[in-house]
A = this chain, B = another copy of it.
């Protein structure tokens, strides 16, 4: 740690998400924090997005570094007095780096100030691209069983499928993880109609964006990958033109 120490006591660590991909989806508070920081740490994919903000700064582009190592380096540099921005995609507070940073800071009793800045998460961005699927109670569930027992994930899928939540599936599929999305669909089919609307957004707001509207019945025939978020509508969700819409309930009370 000594190599970073500037003798001024602990610094600040900003934990920032740059949103789904499009530059015009990053909040000004995130840009400001990046501008304030001496050192920027993050995946190269996210740093490419804000290239012109990095000029004159120490940039640690960690395409190969593991999450734990990246958080540790960020924390140690901040602890030594630097102003550091740790950059990820989406909202740093939703399945991203904010929690790990704070968990590690707590275990090592770090004194550096840690500021979490919210961002447009995949769930916000994908919903907007699809129309308005999240207008009623919704849940986000990650299908990655790397850190969570599969039985826990299954229980949550069952619970939300049976009580008519709109459900956003994070990490639905990867090269090695292909069975989980099929099992999730089976669970939903126990409780929902095969025609239940499903929206899939891959690469939201990016050049390679693909938006697919489908049903529980047909969803496995659609392209789902590492960059996809799958949103399963509730029993009242419908499609009009190319929009996925979950009614809030106004139609039952008012003349629309």
Quick one: CB contact mask for A124-167 with B, threshold 8 Å, 1 for yes?
11011101111111111110000110001101101110111100
What are 28 A-B pairs at a CB distance below 8 A? A25-B27, A27-B120, A91-B124, A93-B135, A98-B131, A98-B132, A98-B135, A99-B246, A99-B248, A100-B248, A102-B245, A103-B248, A103-B256, A105-B240, A106-B243, A116-B128, A116-B129, A119-B120, A119-B124, A120-B124, A137-B139, A137-B140, A139-B139, A147-B248, A155-B163, A156-B164, A158-B163, A159-B163
Report chain B residues within 8 Å CB of A93.
Answer: 124, 127-128, 132-135
Bound complex: CA of A250 vs CA of B23, how far in Å?
30
Q: Which of B26, B124, B148 contacts A121 (CB 8 A)?
A: B124
Quick one: CB contact mask for A88-114 with B, threshold 8 Å, 1 for yes?
000111111011111111111000001
Bound complex: CA of A125 vs CA of B116, how far in Å?
10
Say whether A256 contacts B94, CB under 8 Å: no
Report chain B residues within 8 Å CB of A176.
Answer: none
- Which residue from chain B places its CB closest to the CB of A98 in the assembled complex? B132
Contacts A24-B32, A102-B131 supplied; 20 other A-B pairs, CB < 8 Å? A24-B27, A26-B27, A91-B124, A96-B135, A98-B132, A99-B248, A106-B238, A106-B240, A106-B245, A107-B251, A116-B131, A119-B120, A119-B124, A124-B124, A136-B142, A136-B148, A139-B139, A156-B163, A158-B163, A159-B162
Shortest Cβ distance from A22 into chain B, in angstroms?
7
Say whether B136 contacts A139, CB under 8 Å: no
Say whether B252 contacts A147, CB under 8 Å: yes
How many residues belonging to A are interface residues under a CB distance threshold of 8 Å?
81
Shortest Cβ distance from A86 into chain B, in angstroms?
12
A217 in the interface, Cβ–Cβ < 8 Å?
A: no
Report chain B residues within 8 Å CB of A172.
Answer: none
A118 in the interface, Cβ–Cβ < 8 Å?
A: yes
Q: Which of B100, B128, B251 contacts A117 (CB 8 A)?
A: B128
A10 in the interface, Cβ–Cβ < 8 Å?
A: no
